[in-house]
Amino acid sequence: MKIKFFNLGFYLLIIIFLLANYLYSHSNSVITFEERKAEVNEKLQRVFSFLKKSKLDGILLSTVRNFAWITGGGDSHIVITSEIGCASLLILKNRKKYLIANNSEASRLMNEALKDLGFELKEFKWFEEFLKPNRKLEIIKRLTSKMKIGSDTPFPGTVLVANEFSKIRYQLTDSEIKKYRWLGSQCAQAVKEVCYQIKPGMSEKQIEALTSNALMKRGIRPTVILIGADERIYNYRHATPTEKKLKKYAMVNICAEKWGLVIAMTRFVHFGPLPEDLEKKMRSVAKVDSTYLSMTRPGIPAYKILEAAQKAYEAEGYKDEWKEHHQGGAIGYLERDWIVYPGLKEKVRERQAFAWNPTIKGTKCEDTIICFKDGIEILTEIKDWPKIKVTINGKTFYRPAILIRQK
């Protein structure tokens, strides 16, 4: 009986493991289809309001980021590095919605990215887009005859409204926040995994490969991987990976996306005792970053946030360091929706995501956060990572310190 019980327990553990692995790998279960559909409907209402305000009859969406946004996470990319997707969506103020795609892409997009979302397919043969007359252009002209149509890319017969349209993406829906929390947590675990795997003697390229693998095995696509080792961290604020081998000090900096949403974060690892000067710089940059976090409140103009950070830099003895690298800003369906600079009048919105990234030569502080009415939420926190405690105006922040490892 004991043997049978042991076997039953063993098989139950296997079943639990397989089920957990299935749920982990099928991460779209982060939200239900009903939640996704509600997200899409809410966004469509924003689109219709945008069309009315802009005096447009419709909008043509062709970028990967806007396809992902309006479909609640659909993927239209083929070439990973391209901003333009393999198909276009046409949304008209009369509530009609079309997918315009060639026959190589149409069935996949309709069956997967757009399934049960109410889009009507307008299909053409793959080669007809290269002929004259252009079949895709013909279809769009027929659907929009005598209409004023906006577009997020330059397209014949349309009005380019990319910058204006991007603003309606800024405030996150409930389901986007759920997805962002999952994504932030998984990116944090991936970066932590890498930081405990790397060893002196590894090249920056090898660490890049570890980082890419840690993300992609979680179903997350890296869009930026910056890996610096030793003096390259001091010499270059953007250390793109090389064959340089790690001795003591490593930087792992990522931007990564899933469902179109982008996470940004940076962590550092040092092998052996931390030099006093490096520790001082890290504490100072943590104070500057905490200033950014404390100022990220709904309604605050971007330039005022930067002014507060400039004072923090000066108070730490690094007055001009902010000039050496951009300081970050709003994030969402781009690595940055906007980057803060002197005089920028963009205002922080409730339920908007941010990734500030102050630097002091050799150090940096960067996490992705969401701003709420009553405070911020850090999406990329690593719970058991060493922290630097910073108090500003009675509020305490815990910012990431440099992880010290022994060889």
- Predicted pLDDT of residue 23: 40
SS3 string of 229-261? ECHHHHHCCCCCCCCCECCCEEEEEEEEEECCE
Name which of 59-68, 125-134, 298-307 the model is least confident about.
125-134
- Predicted pLDDT of residue 29: 84
Phi, psi of 368 (to 5 degrees): -100, 135
Domains and CATH numbers, the chain: 33-169 (3.40.350.10), 174-405 (3.90.230.10)
pLDDT tier at 2, thresholds 50, 70, 90: very low
351's tokens: 């339920």
For the chain, what percent of residues have pLDDT higher than 70?
A: 93
Measure the CA–CA gap between 256 and 216, rounded to whole angstroms: 9
pLDDT tier at 342, thresholds 50, 70, 90: very high
Convert the pLDDT of each residue in 265-294 to its tens digit: 999 999 999 999 999 999 999 999 999 999
- Predicted pLDDT of residue 28: 53
| 13 pLDDT above the threshold of 80 | no
8 Å CB contact between 377 and 172 = no
8 Å CB contact between 309 and 322 = yes
- Predicted pLDDT of residue 16: 41
- Predicted pLDDT of residue 6: 45
| 64 pLDDT above the threshold of 90 | yes
- Predicted pLDDT of residue 21: 44
Phi, psi of 14 (to 5 degrees): -60, -45
- Predicted pLDDT of residue 202: 98
| 8 pLDDT above the threshold of 70 | no
* Better-scored residue on pLDDT, 20 or 218: 218
Indicate the residue type of 293: L
| 3-class secondary structure, 354 | strand
For the chain, what percent of residues have pLDDT higher than 90?
A: 92
- Predicted pLDDT of residue 7: 57
- Predicted pLDDT of residue 300: 98
pLDDT tier at 100, thresholds 50, 70, 90: very high
Preceding amide of 241 cis, omega within 30: no
Mean pLDDT across the chain? 94
Q: Strands 149-151 and 58-63: what pairing?
A: parallel
| 333 pLDDT above the threshold of 60 | yes
Name which of 10-14, 35-39, 114-118 the model is least confident about.
10-14
Convert the pLDDT of each residue in 190-249 to its tens digit: 999 999 999 999 999 999 999 999 999 999 999 999 999 999 999 999 999 999 999 999
| 20 pLDDT above the threshold of 80 | no
Q: For residue 38, give the H/E element and its range.
A: helix 33-54
8 Å CB contact between 111 and 74 = no
Convert the pLDDT of each residue in 120-130 to its tens digit: 999 999 999 99
- Predicted pLDDT of residue 407: 76
Mean pLDDT of 142-170: 97
Phi, psi of 162 (to 5 degrees): -55, -50
Measure the CA–CA gap between 188 and 254, rounded to whole angstroms: 10
Measure the CA–CA gap between 39 and 269, rounded to whole angstroms: 39
Q: Identify which of 286, 331, 62, 10 has the alpha carbon closest to the alpha carbon of residue 180.
A: 331
Helix-helix angle 174-197:204-216, to 10 degrees? 140
Indicate the residue type of 22: Y
Indicate the residue type of 56: L
| 15 pLDDT above the threshold of 50 | no
pLDDT tier at 19, thresholds 50, 70, 90: very low
- Predicted pLDDT of residue 306: 98
Measure the CA–CA gap between 75 and 259, rounded to whole angstroms: 7
| 259 pLDDT above the threshold of 70 | yes
Cross-strand pairs, 92: 58
